[in-house]
Amino acid sequence: MSESTYIHGTSPEEQRRLSLMNDVLLNPLSLHELALRGDENIIDFGSGLGQFTQAMANVVVPKGSVVGIERSDEQRATAIQLAKEEGEEGFVDYRAGDVLDLDLGDEWDFFDLAHTRFLLEHVPDPLRVVQTMVRAVKPGGRIVLEDDDHGVMRLWPEPPGFLDLWNAYIRTYDRIGNDPFVGRRLVQLLHQAGARPVRNTWIWFGGCAGMDWFDVLAANMAGVVRTARDTMIEMNLVERDTFDAVMEHYGRWSKRPDAALWFAVAWAEGARV
């Protein structure tokens, strides 16, 4: 079976980008959409640094429970350390595991909610992951998928060369057998996995100059591309000098008083029948 590949790596720069994006932009919005009761047993596929996994645990523990599945020893260790620093050690049961080949033992059909975010775009067989998520929840249990559709990104006024650079970034997914547009397929994946789709929406991830957190948003989008720089160059998708020149244009764009950015995270929910 092909292994999943995360093209952004796990450098300190990438970890900081993910942490800031989660804490400032996404976690409150994702929690709002989940509308947790407070007593669910949850399994989080691809828990990463654990910020959102911990956020869910803060809502459901001790009445419920949260298991985080993460194959990266480095990210799992960081998640445990971050939880300890926040006084939340033990809220989440972090486990080593590959979501493409997961063994839950006697916990199949146990969970009330299976969740994943920004994982399906990085695996060669997203349907297999969703099928595993469906199997993990009890009948009537919820399956929530959050992921990117990189085709929805827009900047205006467009920095010179940025659209070409973004398209080159998208091609890194194709080259390794992953789907940069998986967000538009979430409802279909739920149906194909045997779940009953019940909801489909977006989590708005855009903004403009003048908003309090626009600098965080602009820096995150730059980080998405910068952390894939070496991969893009190695794949001959862009020249080194071209990449650097375009990102200089982007840096100037991000300081414009009329800069605007549109992006959204696809969000879909299904129920096990």
Here the CATH number for the domain that contains residue 176 is: 3.40.50.150
Q: Which range marks the domain in which residue 249 is found? A: 12-272
For the chain, 273 residues long, give each residue's pLDDT as a single digit of tens.
Answer: 345 555 555 556 656 656 666 666 789 999 999 999 999 999 999 999 999 999 999 999 999 999 999 999 999 999 999 999 999 999 999 999 999 999 999 999 999 999 999 999 999 999 999 999 999 999 999 999 999 999 999 999 999 999 999 999 999 999 999 999 999 999 999 999 999 999 999 999 889 999 988 988 899 899 989 999 999 999 999 999 999 999 999 999 999 999 999 999 999 999 999
Q: Is residue 78 part of a domain?
A: yes
Q: Is residue 7 part of a domain?
A: no
DSSP 105: G
Q: Is residue 1 part of a domain?
A: no
Tokens of 200: 């489909």
Q: Is residue 160 part of a domain?
A: yes
Domains in the chain: how many in total? 1
Three-class HEC string of 3-49: CCCCCCCCCHHHHHHHHHHHHHHHHHHHHHHHCCCCCCEEEEECCCC
Residue 205 CB burial class (10 angstroms; 0-12, 13-18, ≥19): buried
Distance CA 11, CA 14 (A): 5
Q: Is residue 3 part of a domain?
A: no
Q: Is residue 4 part of a domain?
A: no
Is pTM beyond 0.85? Reply is yes
Q: Is residue 241 part of a domain?
A: yes
Measured CA to CA in angstroms, residue 242 lies from 32, 134, 152, 250 at distances of: 41, 44, 23, 12
